[in-house]
Structure formats: structure tokens, C-alpha cells
Amino acid sequence: MPADKNPARKITHGDISNLLLGKHSEDICVPECNTKSSTQHPGCQRIDFWAMKKSWAHPTVWAYEIKTSRADFIQDNKWQGYLDYCTDFYFIAPPGIIEPEELPPEAGLIVCSKNAKRLYTKKKAPHRRDVNIPDTIYRYILFSRSTIDVPDRESHASLGVEYYKDMLEDRDENTRVGSALATKISILVRNKVSDVVHENSKLRNEIQTYDSFTATEPPAVRYSTP
């Protein structure tokens, strides 16, 4: 195994963590993620970088163990405990720290470039679908690492005023439109009624004329004998 190279030693834990943030920009990311509450469980395990895909259909959870020195990798005897909290486990390091053939079947390997600008997968980690991840890690993330934004009282009140102001303006506008529409409908109805009345009057006159004509007896016809 080659010894550590100088360029690798210049790459820090933070450099690699930032690269992972870019890699998982569409996922839920938690650097330095505890597996449970450190207050209730002092000495609990901490994963260097944890990420979860936003997908119900294809759930994937990654755990990354960052190594920036050869000695750190060789002396690590706790990484097996991270397997319970992910479906895909990776070691990630600068070049010259870890070789793919050194890793057990459960782990993958990602290496960053010498200038810490890119990540390269040297060994793909197996995707373990049957892992039942303990909910302690989700509770830790929810309680300790997530933030719920709530507007302060003043801004909330301001939002309320604007909301009701807009609502009143919309109501006034709807009233004006409704009034104009009602007026137009009323005019149309009146015109239609007038047309019907006129037509009825015309028909009534025609009926009276017809009745008058049929009621008149025809004149008697006299026949003379030649």
C-alpha cells in the first residue's frame, strides 16, 4: 500500500464534506450526524456524513466515513456500527489513502480529486434493501438538526392585515361585478318581457279579427228561374 502523498494531506475533512453536500444537493444531508440523542446517550456513534434520498418509492440512505489519513483508516474499528443506519455505506478519502481491495464487501469507496473539486467512485457499495433503520436517528435529526420557520408575531400580524385587506378588496370588486351583471340581466329580461307582451298583443288582435270574420253570416243567394 503506498504511503500518504503530500497532496492528500492538504485535503481536509471539511473539503470532503462540502463535496458531499454538492453531490447530495437534492437530498436530505446531515454532516456529523448522531445515531441518537447525545444528551440521553453519551458516547453514541456519530456518522461523518449522512444523507437520505427524498423518495418514497426508492428509499436510499447513505452513510459516509471520511478519512484524511492512512492511520485513521487503519485504526478505525467502529465503522461496522454505521451499517445499521444506512442502505449504502462508503469510505471517502483523498487519493492514496485507501485502496478498493482493502475494503470489506459491505463498504464502497469514493475518492476525491487531488484539488478537492471532484468525487470518483472506486468501488460501489451494495444497496441493502432489507435494512430496518432505527428511528433514533430520525428523531435526532428532527429534534436536534431541523429548523421549523415560524413568522414572528409582528410579521404574522402584518400578513393577517394584508390578507384581510386583499380579501375586502376582492369582495368589493366582486360586488361591483355582480351589480353590473345584475343590471345587465335585468335590462335583458325587461326587453324580453316587452317583446313577449308585444307578440301576445299582436296575436290577440289577429285572433279577434279572425273571430269577427267567421262570426259574420254570408249573404243569402237567390236563384231565378229562366
Average pLDDT, the chain: 82
Res 195: pLDDT:
73
Decide: 79 and 96 in contact? Cβ < 8 Å: no
Res 65: pLDDT:
98
Q: Which residues contact 143 (CB under 8 A, 6 or more apart)?
A: 37
* Mean pLDDT, residues 55-76 taken together: 94
Res 76: pLDDT:
93
Alpha carbons 31 and 51: distance in angstroms, whole number: 8
DSSP string, 21-39: HHHTTTSEEEEEEESS-TT
Q: Is pLDDT of 53 > 60?
A: yes
* Mean pLDDT, residues 194-200 taken together: 72
Q: Is pLDDT of 160 > 80?
A: no
CA distances from 39 to 34, 164, 200 (A): 11, 45, 92
Alpha carbons 21 and 93: distance in angstroms, whole number: 15
Alpha carbons 126 and 108: distance in angstroms, whole number: 7
Please tell me the pTM assigned to this model.
0.62
Alpha carbons 27 and 62: distance in angstroms, whole number: 10
Alpha carbons 150 and 212: distance in angstroms, whole number: 88
Per residue in 89-99, pLDDT tens?
999 999 999 99
**Coil, strand or helix: which one is 90?**
strand
SS3 percent helix, strand, coil of the chain, rounded to 5, is 45, 15, 35
A 10 A CB-CB count for 72 gives: 14
Alpha carbons 73 and 78: distance in angstroms, whole number: 11
> Which of 183, 191, 10 is CA-nearest to residue 113?
10
Q: Where are the beta strands (DSSP E) in the chain?
A: 28-34, 46-52, 61-66, 88-93, 107-112, 119-123
Q: When comparing pLDDT for 125 and 194, which is higher?
A: 125
Res 95: pLDDT:
95
Q: Dihedral sign for Cα 67, 70, 76, 82, please.
A: positive
Res 12: pLDDT:
96
Per residue in 139-155, pLDDT tens?
999 998 888 776 665 55
Alpha carbons 63 and 82: distance in angstroms, whole number: 7
* Mean pLDDT, residues 53-70 taken together: 94
* Mean pLDDT, residues 185-200 taken together: 73
